[in-house]
């Protein structure tokens, strides 16, 4: 399965080296001003997507000259990550999607990145400093890890039929609601499995 990297206009995870990572991805999609940092690093993305309110005009012109695919998404009522995920899932429907660049000073943008996973029914993985985050769906997801790594479940509203295997505190058809239950679990096996029947559930796992 091909991989697609979505680069948002925030700080990259510590230790994330695009020069060594880029070969893993079939396409790199820069969300608006994220193209500025890529250009400064000597890279042009395959796609620049957004309403173009934060990309430097010179960088945009350079991308056009380099025949980068320019996708205008002027809708101001959705975030660039939400619009980017929708476009990527339509254009690369069978791909595994990874997101970097969500860790920035504005906490509303950080939280909105998680909400975009639910808004787009996306199984994309958000790569964070030392962690990964993704939406838990009704299809059981196997996550490779190491024993003793931290695992946290964060429900957005009421979530039913929660299943979690391979952790210190396993769950079987549990109901979780907005709150702190589900925080600071621990992996006990090299693979954990998570699924949910209804509702929005975020899983964060220590890398």
CATH number at residue 112: 3.40.50.10240
Do 151 and 52 sit in the same domain of this protein? Answer: no
**Where is the domain boundary, 129, 157, 182?**
129
Query: How many domains does the chain divide into?
Result: 2
pLDDT by residue, tens only, the chain of 207 residues? 899 999 999 888 888 888 888 889 999 999 999 999 899 888 899 999 999 999 999 999 999 999 999 999 998 889 999 999 999 999 999 999 999 999 766 788 888 999 999 999 999 999 999 999 999 999 999 999 999 999 999 999 999 999 999 999 999 999 999 999 999 999 999 999 999 999 999 999 999
Do 124 and 171 sit in the same domain of this protein? Answer: no
Do 72 and 145 sit in the same domain of this protein? Answer: no
Q: How far is residue 81's CA from residue 116's CA, in Å, rounded to a whole number?
A: 7
**Where is the domain boundary, 97, 129, 161?**
129
Do 11 and 112 sit in the same domain of this protein? Answer: yes
Contact call for residues 175 and 159 (beta carbons, < 8 A): yes
Instruction: Determine the pLDDT at residue 137.
Output: 98
Do 64 and 115 sit in the same domain of this protein? Answer: yes
Please list, in sequence order, all residues whose beta carbon lies within 8 angstroms of the beta carbon of residue 73, skipping any fewer than 6 positions away.
Answer: 49, 50, 51, 80, 83, 84, 87
Instruction: Give the range of the structural domain holding residue 33, as residue numbers without chain letter.
Output: 3-129
Instruction: Determine the pLDDT at residue 109.
Output: 81
**Where is the domain boundary, 83, 112, 129?**
129
Listed residue (40, 51, 43, 35) closest to 18, CA to CA:
43
Do 49 and 124 sit in the same domain of this protein? Answer: yes
Give the CATH number for residue 186: 2.60.120.320
């Amino acid at each position: 399965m091909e991989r697609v990297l979505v680069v948002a206009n925030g700080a990259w995870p510590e230790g994330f080296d695009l020069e060594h990572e880029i070969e893993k991805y079939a396409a790199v999609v820069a969300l608006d001003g994220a193209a500025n940092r890529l250009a400064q690093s000597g890279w042009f993305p395959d796609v620049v997507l957004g309403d173009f309110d934060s990309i430097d005009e010179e960088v945009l012109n350079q991308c056009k000259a380099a025949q980068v695919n320019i996708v205008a998404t002027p809708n101001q009522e959705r975030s660039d990550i939400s619009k980017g995920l929708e476009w990527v899932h339509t254009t690369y429907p069978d791909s595994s999607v990874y997101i970097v660049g969500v860790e920035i000073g504005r906490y509303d943008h950080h939280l909105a990145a998680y909400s975009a996973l639910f808004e787009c029914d996306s199984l994309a993985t958000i790569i964070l400093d030392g962690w990964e985050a993704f939406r838990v769906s009704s299809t059981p997801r196997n996550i490779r890890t190491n024993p003793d790594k931290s695992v946290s479940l964060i429900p957005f509203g009421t979530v039913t039929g929660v299943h979690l295997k391979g952790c210190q505190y396993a769950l079987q058809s549990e109901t979780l609601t907005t709150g702190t239950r589900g925080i600071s679990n621990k992996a006990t096996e090299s693979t954990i499995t998570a699924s949910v029947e209804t509702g929005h559930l975020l899983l964060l796992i220590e890398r």
